[in-house]
Amino acid sequence: MSQEPLLRVEELTTHFFTEEGVVRAVDGISFTVNEGEIVGLVGESGAGKSVAASSLLRLVESPGEIVGGEVTFRGETLFGVEERSDGELVQRDEMLSNATMRERIRGREIAIIFQDPMESLNPVFTVGGQLREFIEINRDLGADAAKREAIDMLREVGIPEPENRYDDYPHQFSGGMRQRVLIAMALSCEPSLIIADEPTTALDVTVEGQILDLVDDLQDKYDTSFVWVTHDMGVIAEICDRVNVMYLGEIVEQADVEQLFYDTKHPYTQALLESIPRPDETVGELSPIEGVMPEAINPPSGCRFHTRCPDAREVCVRAHPDARDVTEPGDPPHRAACLMHDAFDVGYWDSDPIASDAKAGFGADLTADGGRRRGETDE
Ligand SMILES: Nc1ncnc2c1ncn2[C@@H]1O[C@H](COP(=O)(O)OP(=O)(O)OP(=O)(O)O)[C@@H](O)[C@H]1O
Ligand code: NI
């Protein structure tokens, strides 16, 4: 596509300056979102997904700071720094002001939905009242028109009898219903982009499935683009068009969902895929990822995944792979940051394999399911 993407993220870098050291939460990530696309950001806990999501809207709080890179939305600069001749990083002139971000971008053009609806809904006000007020403020509608719109939106996201539920308080709604309310709120200003940070993670699978179906339908209807944050490859498979796999602040693989699942180019993606049930495999083949993700304060040298990678070789300890083009002929663009690909040409195949946590089984009891090792899964 030659068209400028809706959202373009280049080398975005967000660090936390803590007493223990600098946490490199997001360390130079680049990706795009085109009109009408659902783009996934997937990785384990601590990978940097949430920090990346909030960085897009400049919502990072101290001691965190966006220290590099660029974010543009429809060609406008949401964030951008440049290096002055004396080496100092300064904000670019065209970067939108805080007031513009607050008044025009956030909520209106780009909405964000968080995992916990109770953080976004005020428990002392009614659900309908909050939705109405949000619509009044952001769409310059009068109270009556905003109320009608609020009820329509509640109906749209599948709240039964919305006129009757309008005056209920958040605690009178189930978790799934509250999440639907947040989706209604996000959609009510007809934004071009919605950033969703694990909005279905706290829900049971049935309700999660219903919400993902709803998002799919609404996306078709409104042509809204999404950045969808999740740690769950199953969710990625269900709704995403393109996917970015994150590990320790970096994007290690980037591809269309089809290629990511069936022509996987990074061992970390492979490991994530092996840890979820797939319709084409039996449950017995499930294996949790070995080891725990290291700290982002002091990431491993070379490839950050080498300490857990089943394919790690000596060269992986030394050479840091930036993502490169590994697209197969005839396929859509595919990038991966793994030294085993020809694109890197660092002598991976001549390098000696090393023992990683994965091979030693070390740290296996720290995996989410309480320590089954590769090959020990239930039949
Ligand atoms: N306020 C903070 N101060 C210091 N470090 C932080 C802060 N917030 C996040 N981090 C660190 O940034 C890194 C990325 O965190 P982030 O919340 O983005 O991970 P995530 O991928 O969203 O994980 P999860 O799936 O658990 O939500 C982690 O190492 C985390 O400890
Ligand atoms: Ni998160």
ipTM rounded to 2 decimals: 0.99
Q: Give how far Cα 81 sits from Cα of 28, 42, 56, 71, 110, Å.
A: 13, 26, 14, 10, 21
Ligand 1-lining residues (CB < 6 angstroms): 16, 18, 23, 25, 43, 45-51, 63-64, 231, 296
**Mean pLDDT confidence for 339-367:** 73
What is the residue with the minimal CA distance to atom 17 of ligand 1?
A: 50
What is the residue with the minimal CA distance to atom 8 of ligand 1?
A: 51
- CA of residue 48 to ligand 2 center, whole Å: 7
Tens digits of per-residue pLDDT, 107-128?
889 999 988 777 789 999 999 9
Q: How far is CA 243 from the centre of its chain?
A: 9
Q: Which residues contact 307 (CB under 8 A, 6 or more apart)?
A: 291, 294, 300, 356, 357
Tell me how far apart the alpha carbons of residues 66 and 32 are, in angstroms, rounded to a whole number.
18
Q: How far is CA 168 from the centre of its chain?
A: 32
CA-23 nearest atom, ligand 1: 5
What is the residue with the minimal CA distance to atom 12 of ligand 1?
A: 25
By the 10 Å C-beta count (0-12 exposed, 13-18 middle, 19+ buried), 58 is classed as: middle
Tens digits of per-residue pLDDT, 190-245?
899 999 999 988 888 888 999 899 899 889 999 999 999 999 999 999 999 999 99
- CA of residue 94 to ligand 2 center, whole Å: 30
Tens digits of per-residue pLDDT, 287-300?
777 777 788 898 99
Tell me how far apart the alpha carbons of residues 237 and 92 are, in angstroms, rounded to a whole number.
38
pLDDT number for residue 377: 39
- CA of residue 245 to ligand 1 center, whole Å: 16
Which of 12, 13, 16 to probe ligand 1 with, by most ligand atoms within 8 A of CB? Answer: 16
pLDDT number for residue 267: 97
What percent of the chain has pLDDT above 90?
Answer: 72
> Comparing C-alpha atoms, which of 242, 247, 233 is closest to residue 337?
247
pLDDT number for residue 369: 37
Which of 15, 51, 195, 251 to probe ligand 1 with, by most ligand atoms within 8 A of CB? Answer: 51
What is the residue with the minimal CA distance to atom 18 of ligand 1?
A: 48
- CA of residue 123 to ligand 1 center, whole Å: 26
What is the residue with the minimal CA distance to atom 19 of ligand 1?
A: 46
Mean pLDDT of the chain: 89
> Comparing C-alpha atoms, which of 67, 59, 53, 52 is closest to residue 22?
67
pLDDT number for residue 118: 76
Contact assessment for residue 242 and residue 40, using Cβ atoms and an 8 Å cutoff? yes
Tell me how far apart the alpha carbons of residues 239 and 251 are, in angstroms, rounded to a whole number.
20
Ligand nearest to the CA of 59: 1
pLDDT over 80 at 365, yes or no: no
CA-249 nearest atom, ligand 1: 14
User: Among the residues of 37-142, which ranges form H helices?
Assistant: 49-56, 98-100, 117-120, 127-139
What is the residue with the minimal CA distance to atom 10 of ligand 1?
A: 25
**Mean pLDDT confidence for 12-38:** 96
Tell me how far apart the alpha carbons of residues 344 and 321 are, in angstroms, rounded to a whole number.
8
Ligand nearest to the CA of 41: 1
- CA of residue 377 to ligand 1 center, whole Å: 30
pLDDT over 90 at 154, yes or no: yes
Ligand nearest to the CA of 197: 2
By the 10 Å C-beta count (0-12 exposed, 13-18 middle, 19+ buried), 190 is classed as: middle
pLDDT number for residue 362: 39
The least confident of 36-40, 111-115, 270-274 is 111-115
pLDDT over 80 at 373, yes or no: no
- CA of residue 241 to ligand 2 center, whole Å: 21
Tens digits of per-residue pLDDT, 345-358?
999 999 999 977 65
What is the H or E stretch that residue 69 is in? Answer: strand 64-73
- CA of residue 6 to ligand 1 center, whole Å: 26
6: tokens are 């809706």
242: tokens are 């393109």
Tell me how far apart the alpha carbons of residues 96 and 356 are, in angstroms, rounded to a whole number.
45
What is the residue with the minimal CA distance to atom 3 of ligand 1?
A: 16
State how beta strands 64-73 and 76-83 pair: antiparallel
**pTM greater than 0.95:** no
CA-47 nearest atom, ligand 1: 21
The distance between the two most distant Cα atoms of the chain, rounded to a whole number of Å, is 72
pLDDT number for residue 46: 93
- CA of residue 3 to ligand 2 center, whole Å: 31
Identify residue 302 by its one-letter amino acid code. Answer: G
Tens digits of per-residue pLDDT, 156-190?
999 999 999 999 999 999 989 999 999 999 988 88
What is the residue with the minimal CA distance to atom 11 of ligand 1?
A: 25
pLDDT number for residue 283: 54
